[in-house]
Structure 1
């Protein structure tokens, strides 16, 4: 069985500019099993929004303990399929950042998303604080025996402030602090993605959006990571809504006869 650091290195090595790692983000053991069983899947990643929803919570209310409990079950499935797991850890749970990193590793995670939006204030952490949090996360993983732990450092500079220049500045600093990739969330044009990919040497994560750039187009630009966030959960919920409506409408019509 691979060691935690060997699994992390496995995940790290999947981030290749121009040959992006593509995640169909999961949120429970069932979705993990479906995705992990697909031969085209090379790794798994959670989406905190979806994990929160299946626990009856809003995304900002997903606490560390609930998240880690879900990660343990998902990681068990990932391990059976020999596929590393990246965990959406939101902003790292404030002052509990080191504890959160250690918990993710103990639960079987090989990497994480770490946001620079403070969940308590809804604003960006100051630049220096956000960079130091990446550095602290990297140090905590190394201390836990996983120096190859993958940090996908997310910046919401575009989402919150429409500030691409700040996203570039933060992203470069995150990479220097030990992040593997930078995830820029928000409305990005093709020109924006091309600029970010160039600035980050391809070590960019972009969310695949309906009607947006395709996997092939993003690969051609040269990025290293693509994810879909809660898109799988939303698709599943639409299917439940449609199927339950058919069933219950048919029952209602029968009773009315």
Structure 2
């Protein structure tokens, strides 16, 4: 199938991933937050956060199912369409055998990129590298068949959370880039304390800068250290920065404070 007009948005999204001049994504979770970001002249693209969509639906991230995630994504996609800005969706692990079905639904809604994890919830284990790569290729084949050959995949590896080393994450990340992913997201997890400055440097070098880093919105980390800033990450050469559910957490904290003021009179 020839590229569709939607592919122009995909090309725009892909072009925004530039090492040292990263795409910054302020992840949204409903139509209200999407409209705030879409209306900002300095926000080049929109992104969803599965954890935040799950929380909005009263679910844990692990309990978020395909239909609930798609419902949240569609509400955000409608706003993205109005703004003519590209949208990338957090699609967790792709929902097992429903991956191709899900990609078709995403593109039908106007989505031009996705996060895809390599930890399969149904199997409760990491996909082996060959399988994880084939799932990325499957996404890109399906997208191309639907006229979006430049569909953007941000390949996430959870190797560090499941006994793996930085070397394992590098091996997986390079394989995902070779399979067609635009960037790689190495998830460190809160329990581990995320990934360190030195690890970011290693990953930037290993991936030629095509690294997605999750920006911590608090200045200090759980161990009393200092989290990396957006400027520092840019200077280190990353290509993509996101915040996951960080903005939702801050918004809900503000909601609680204001609600308590009302209740206290």
* Same-fold call, TM cutoff 0.5: yes
Matched residue of 1:42: which SS?
A: coil
The alignment's TM-score, normalised by the length of structure 2, stands at: 0.91
The answer for the alignment partner of 2:263 in structure 1 is: 248
The answer for the alignment partner of 1:124 in structure 2 is: 126
Q: Distance in 1 between matches of 2:253 and 2:260?
A: 11
The answer for the alignment partner of 2:199 in structure 1 is: 192
Q: Distance in 2 between matches of 1:218 and 1:56?
A: 33
The answer for the alignment partner of 1:102 in structure 2 is: 104
The answer for the alignment partner of 1:203 in structure 2 is: 210
* 1:145 pairs with 2:144: no
State the 1:191 CA deviation: 1.0
Q: Deviations over 1:115-160 (max 9, x none)?
A: 0011124321122211111111111111111110000000011233
Matched residue of 2:260: which SS?
A: helix
Aligned length: 249
Matched residue of 1:218: which SS?
A: helix
Kept in 2, the 8 Å contact 1:131–1:173? The answer is yes
Q: Distance in 2 between matches of 1:159 and 1:19?
A: 28
Q: Distance in 2 between matches of 1:15 and 1:4?
A: 18
Matched residue of 1:77: which SS?
A: helix
State the Cα RMSD in Å. 1.2
State the 1:181 CA deviation: 0.4
* 1:83 pairs with 2:98: no
- What are the residue-to-residue correspondences of 1:42-53 with 2, within 5 Å? 42-53=44-55
The answer for the alignment partner of 1:253 in structure 2 is: none
Structure 1 spans left out of the alignment, 5+ residues:
251-257
Q: Distance in 1 between matches of 2:215 and 2:171?
A: 23
Structure 2 spans left out of the alignment, 5+ residues:
189-193, 220-226
The answer for the alignment partner of 2:222 in structure 1 is: none
The alignment's TM-score, normalised by the length of structure 1, stands at: 0.94
Q: Deviations over 1:215-241 (max 9, x none)?
A: 111111111000000011111111111
Q: Distance in 1 between matches of 2:106 and 2:40?
A: 24
Q: Deviations over 1:144-191 (max 9, x none)?
A: 111100000000112332511110000000000010000111021111
Q: Distance in 1 between matches of 2:257 and 2:21?
A: 36
The answer for the alignment partner of 2:244 in structure 1 is: 229
Q: Distance in 2 between matches of 1:106 and 1:67?
A: 14
Q: Deviations over 1:192-232 (max 9, x none)?
A: 10110111111100000133111111111111000000011
Matched residue of 1:213: which SS?
A: coil
Q: Which has the higher helix share?
A: 1
Instruction: List structure 1 runs of 4+ shifted beyond 2 angstroms.
Output: 120-123, 159-162
The answer for the alignment partner of 1:66 in structure 2 is: 68
